[in-house]
Amino acid sequence: MNPPTLTLSAVSHTYGRTQALRDATLSVAPGEVVAVTGPSGCGKSTLLLLAAGVLRAQSGRVTVAGTELSGVDDTARALVRRRSIGLVLQFGQLVPDLPVRDNVALPLLLEGHPAADARAAADGWLDRVGLAVGPDTLPSELSGGQAQLAAAARALVHGPALLLADEPTASLDTRSGRALLDLMLATTVAAGGAVLLVTHDNTVAARADREVRLRDGVIEHEVALS
Amino acid sequence: MKTSTAWLIGRPRTSAGRTRTLLVAGGAAVGGGLLIAAAAVLRVPAEEVRYLDGGGTVSSSSGEYSSLVVQAGLRPGVLTGILLLVLPALALAWQAVTTGSARRAAVHEGLRLSGATPADLRRVAMLEPAVAGAFGGLLAGAVYLALWLLLHVAAPASARLLPGLSPLDAVAWLVVIALSTLVGGVAGALAATPRRRRPVRAWPRLLAVGVGVLALVAAVSAPRDIDRHARSTTLLCAALVVLALGLLSTGSIWVTARARRLARSGTAVDVLAAGGLRTLAGPAGRTAGTTCVAGLVIGVVGSLTGLLLEPQHSLSESLPGILFALLAGLLAMLAAVASLVLAATDDLVTTRRAVASTAALGADPTVLEQVQRRRLAVVTTGPLLAGVLLGGLYAPGAQSPIALGTVLLTVALALLLARALAVAVTRVLRPQLARAAAPSSLRVA
């Protein structure tokens, strides 16, 4: 059996006096889709940011694709994020000064790919997510849903081993949301990658193999869905 | 990360970005040109004064240059004048580098999420200011050439402040290009380094201002016989520089205090203005600091002009000094205006969601404009006036009504200028305010 792509072992995190996550233990195997659900403020997004290495776990261990993130510096965590993780956050979090196409090409550009190749790959992914933009279109010209599509293209462009998505379809209509989810799951799982979805939406959660429910920063229960 | 990728990501694309780059280059060009001029002044042969046994003195001066640059007691004053002009130019460049912090934070967040390492972020942040600094360094040569034409070629022999061109000027120029590139890069990296929010400690900054004021008063009150003249002038220069640096750093204290007071006043305009000022106390404080230093330069210029207009000086003797003082005043005013426009534009970009929300809640454009004007008034009127008054300390020895009148006139003009600036900048930025208040700004994260 392959080792898990993502492992969280007894991970805790606090913001000031607020305990956002307590002793969370979770693993996601290659090819598996896990949905994290729970009420607002229960620690779902914190769990996702810890898995992405954006936040450093204050206690416990986070391992992504064989690298233990809690024990390495910012540079090493950034490199893991660049090479092994695709991240889709709720508002897209695109770089406002860069054209949308370059935003999507960013993980490849950072990795040192020639700009022409990176942009060609970005064009391909923009086409696949169904976002038609000009070469100089800026993120400020996109709607919330379009920004989310662009963020999804950016997360998939480098074929990540782990796709992390926080409410990836929240700004999209039902049909576009379903199409995007199909694309994200099919592409990642087909390549042997793992997916961790954070969502409020039961229809999105139902697409996962397993649901992990959080309440007040604690994993309440896990349910196999398929 | 390859340099080409860093440039692809970091190069200025928006008009605001390009303006920022031009201001960095402009600040570096003016600052660099003046530094080359300061180095050139040091090449002017100093006058040696010999005391005769029977009383009186003999000077070695050839009469080729103004006494301002050949007399040992006056030269430090000219050098300080130049340095004081360099300060607002560099403060403006620093303000331009650090401006747009909210946008920069969004850029860095996007890059970080895509896997950019801290070194990548530093490189992206360094590149644009370094290129702007290099460009400014190149332009510094042109600025120096213009100064040389004005203060050497066009000036009569007895009024020259700069010597003829020499290969040493080219060396100084190359040093300025290298320094401005390096300083630009380092400033960009510093501006992009995330810092922990710490409460501003007021006392060291206020102490620097206090020390500067005391040193200025001590230097001005010192007896001015020929032996001590150079020493007191050097003390005066050092006092002015300490004071200027102190004032640059106290801007945010002033802004925070004013914001607290406005918040207590209770009117909608004041409360909204206070909210914006509190949120952007750092950038607004930098503007207030730059304006205050510009005021200091204008104050010193006013005092100097008053002293030079006193009846004991002939016009031909005072003319280069007056011209130099007026040029300094003009440059200081330009720095203040540029700093203000830059800050106000950045303020609107950074707070556009708040502006749009306020408009959506029912604030009409007149109220939004009043808020904008109130904020600008906080960073102009008080700081400019304080700077001018502190600069006015430079000439308490002014005996004649002409000198005193000039100082008072400078204060009155500065007050008018501050008011006019706040109104003019608000008018100029009306389209940007309308854009910020548009419903589309509500979508901005």
Half-sphere exposure of B90 (CA within 13 A, CB side): 21
A131-156: average pLDDT? 89
B143-162: average pLDDT? 87
B279-303: average pLDDT? 84
**pLDDT tens digits for B296-341?**
888 888 887 887 777 776 666 667 677 777 777 788 788 878 878 8
According to the per-residue pLDDT averaged within each range, which of A47-51, B54-58, B81-85, B428-432 is highest? A47-51
Structural domain for A199, as ranges:
6-224
Please state whether B362 falls in left (phi above 0), alpha (psi between -120 and 50) or beta: left
Query: Cα separation of B75 and B46, whole Å?
Result: 9
Please, which pLDDT band fits residue B73 given cuts at 50, 70 and 90? low
Angle among Cα B67, B72, B75 to the nearest 5 degrees reads 65
Q: Which of A6-20, B56-70, B184-198 is the least confident region? A: B56-70
Sheet hosting strand A18-28, strand order edge to edge: A18-28, A6-15, A59-64, A67-68
> Is there a contact between A95 and B444 if contact means CB atoms under 8 Å apart?
no
> Is there a contact between A97 and B107 if contact means CB atoms under 8 Å apart?
yes
Kindly state whether residue A101 falls inside one of the protein's structural domains. Answer: yes
B181 within 8 A of B133, measured Cβ to Cβ: yes
**pLDDT tens digits for B97-139?**
877 766 777 888 888 888 888 888 889 888 889 999 999 999 9
Instruction: Take residue B395 and report the two structure tokens written for it.
Output: 């000439």
Chain B residues with CB inside 8 Å of A111's CB?
A: 115
Chain B residues with CB inside 8 Å of A144's CB?
A: 443
pLDDT beyond 90 at A163: yes
Residue A46 C-alpha from the chain's centroid = 12
Kindly state whether residue A1 falls inside one of the protein's structural domains. Answer: no
pLDDT beyond 80 at B57: no
Sketch the domain layout of chain B as residue ranges: 1-72+98-195, 200-445
Chain B residues with CB inside 8 Å of A83's CB?
A: 115
Distance (Å) from the C-alpha of residue A153 to the closest C-alpha of chain B? 12
Query: Cα separation of B84 and A223, whole Å?
Result: 71
**pLDDT tens digits for B199-247?**
667 788 888 888 888 887 887 776 655 455 556 667 777 788 888 888 8
**pLDDT tens digits for B364-381?**
888 888 888 898 889 888
Report helix angle B118-148 to A74-84, nearest 10: 110
b/e burial code for range A121-157 (CB count within 10 A of at least 16 → b): bbbebbebbebebeeebbbeebeebbbbbbbbbbbbb
Residue B111 near chain A (CB below 8 Å) = yes
Query: Cα separation of B61 and B72, whole Å?
Result: 11
Model ipTM over 0.90? no
Size of interface A-B (CB pairs under 8 A): 85
Mutate to test the interface with B, among A48, A64, A95 (most CBs of B within 10 A): A95
Cite the beta strand spans of B53-203 per DSSP E: 57-59
> Is there a contact between A81 and B1 if contact means CB atoms under 8 Å apart?
no
Q: Which of A41-50, A214-223, B101-110, B195-204 is the least confident region? A: B195-204
pLDDT beyond 70 at B59: no
- The CATH number of the domain holding residue A198 is 3.40.50.300
First and final CA of chain B: distance in angstroms? 28
Q: Which of A64-73, B39-48, B100-109, B256-265 is the least confident region? A: B100-109
Query: Cα separation of B262 and B88, whole Å?
Result: 28
| Count of structural domains, chain A | 1
Alpha helices in chain A (DSSP H): 44-51, 74-84, 100-110, 115-129, 144-156, 174-190, 202-205
pLDDT beyond 70 at B395: no
